[in-house]
């Protein structure tokens, strides 16, 4: 990766780490003190967070289209300000109304400033040559929870949750905003500011319009895999306990998820980048159902292996959400297309904690069969797709033209 591009990836990856740590990973630490101080319940706080995810789904296509037109720098700079304003609003809230209003503002920022926007920014700069850069960003931002949870815990324990929110807001202004401002300016009219991608627009201009059936299949894959990852993030300890494992084992499994995600992304950055992204996505989609089968057959002793397989698959699939639309449909209009592809995924993400919580209450460890079935459906959907001719596979997309 050229040094200039490596610098862009480092800046954008750091800004993404801040964005994820201060939004998506915030409620896990601050929901309880927020609810206590605001005189409401923890489910109400998480309902506000779910509302933010719904807003992010609605904003995503417009934000992506803006990145297609303007490049990522102005959009991501604006989201730094939005994040800061939303976090300040959260710190100033005095009840449920202020809580929801602040999270809705953060939802606008999340819809225009998390991974989809970062991926679109890289594609706007580098065209179809952006795969390695996308992987690099996820490698860095994969540590968002590792950084965010301890820092939020420290700030809340020492100064309270309001100061924690204000501190994250300040970081967006003094760190996130300058990092996004230093991103390269996209050239007008076409992706490919980097010389390595200069030929991309001419070749992609001859591509056929994307298959709507293929778009629907890919959107289904993203929705199902995000449902699984969010359900596991919300309920993993209780789920592992339901299999008969000890609390220590449940804690161990939870601690393995993050490193396994990073390991999966390192694998994608190394060996798997030599294969087509569709193949690596299929391999990744198979890991969660395989892990479930091993856990349910082998019992709690295999719970750590389940955690490793789930985490590694989830880490690779995060990259696939950026690379698959690029290789299947090209870079033209990537941002808006990515926004539309992710609308069902954001909705599934918002519903997953509640829906899977019901399944866990009723089925106990049998709820794992639910996620295994959903993961298997995602794998079957990926098997129905083929890479475009001349892109590392012999057949065109079989989902229809």
Pick the range with the lowest mean pLDDT from 36-40, 176-180, 264-268, 393-397: 393-397
Q: Report how far residue 182's alpha carbon sits from residue 7's, in angstroms, rounded to the nearest whole number.
A: 10
Contact status, residue 17 vs residue 140, Cβ threshold 8 Å: yes
pLDDT for residue 205:
41
For residue 196, the 8-state DSSP code is G
- What is the CA angle 287-371-59, rounded to 5? 95
Pick the range with the lowest mean pLDDT from 16-25, 128-137, 149-158, 169-178: 128-137
What's the mean per-residue pLDDT of the chain? Answer: 84
pLDDT digits (tens, 9 = 90+) for 333-367: 888 888 888 889 888 988 888 888 888 888 888 89
pLDDT digits (tens, 9 = 90+) for 72-123: 899 999 999 999 999 999 999 999 999 999 999 999 999 999 988 998 899 8
Contacts of 117 (CB under 8 A, 6+ apart): 63, 64, 67, 72, 75, 76, 79, 335
The reported pTM is: 0.79
Q: Report how far residue 22's alpha carbon sits from residue 20's, in angstroms, rounded to the nearest whole number.
A: 6
Contacts of 92 (CB under 8 A, 6+ apart): 98, 102, 162
Q: What residue ranges define each of the domains in the chain, with the CATH number in brackets?
A: 3-186 (1.20.1250.20), 212-383 (1.20.1250.20)
pLDDT for residue 339:
84
Radius of gyration of the chain (CA): 20
Largest Cα–Cα separation, the chain: 61
pLDDT for residue 399:
41
Report the pLDDT averaged over residues 264-281.
Answer: 80
Q: Report how far residue 144's alpha carbon sits from residue 307's, in angstroms, rounded to the nearest whole number.
A: 19
């Amino acid at each position: 990766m050229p040094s200039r591009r490596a610098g862009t990836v480092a800046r954008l990856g750091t800004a993404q780490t801040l964005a994820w740590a201060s939004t998506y990973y915030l409620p896990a630490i601050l929901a309880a003190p927020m609810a206590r101080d605001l005189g409401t319940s923890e489910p109400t706080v998480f309902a506000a967070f779910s509302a933010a995810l719904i807003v992010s789904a609605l904003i995503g296509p417009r934000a992506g289209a803006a990145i297609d037109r303007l490049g990522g720098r102005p959009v991501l700079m604006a989201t730094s300000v939005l994040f800061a304003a939303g976090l300040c609003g959260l710190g100033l809230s005095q009840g449920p109304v202020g809580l929801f209003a602040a999270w809705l503002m953060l939802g606008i920022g999340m819809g225009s400033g998390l991974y989809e926007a970062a991926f679109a920014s890289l594609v706007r700069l580098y065209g179809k040559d952006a795969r390695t850069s996308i992987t690099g960003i996820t490698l860095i931002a994969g540590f968002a929870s590792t950084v965010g949870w301890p820092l939020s815990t420290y700030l809340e324990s020492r100064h309270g949750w309001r100061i924690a929110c204000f501190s994250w807001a300040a970081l967006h202004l003094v760190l996130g905003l300058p990092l996004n401002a230093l991103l390269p300016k996209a050239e007008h009219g076409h992706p490919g500011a980097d010389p390595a991608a200069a030929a991309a627009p001419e070749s992609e201009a001859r591509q056929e319009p994307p298959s709507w059936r293929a778009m629907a299949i890919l959107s289904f894959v993203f929705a199902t895999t995000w449902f699984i990852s969010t359900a596991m993030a919300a309920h993993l300890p209780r789920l592992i306990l339901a299999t008969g494992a000890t609390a220590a084992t449940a804690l161990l499994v939870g601690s393995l998820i993050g490193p396994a995600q990073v390991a999966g992304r390192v694998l994608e950055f190394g060996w798997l980048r030599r294969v087509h992204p569709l193949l690596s996505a299929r391999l990744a989609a198979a890991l969660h159902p395989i892990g479930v089968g091993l856990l349910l057959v082998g019992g709690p002793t295999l719970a750590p292996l389940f955690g490793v397989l789930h985490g590694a698959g989830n880490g690779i699939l995060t990259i696939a959400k950026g690379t698959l639309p690029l290789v299947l449909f090209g870079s033209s209009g990537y941002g808006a297309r990515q926004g539309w592809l992710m609308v069902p995924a954001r909705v599934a993400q918002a519903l997953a904690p509640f829906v899977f919580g019901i399944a866990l209450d009723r089925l106990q460890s049998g709820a794992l069969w639910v996620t295994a079935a959903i993961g298997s459906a995602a794998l079957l959907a990926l098997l129905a797709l083929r890479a475009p001719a001349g892109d590392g596979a012999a057949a065109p997309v079989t989902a229809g033209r």
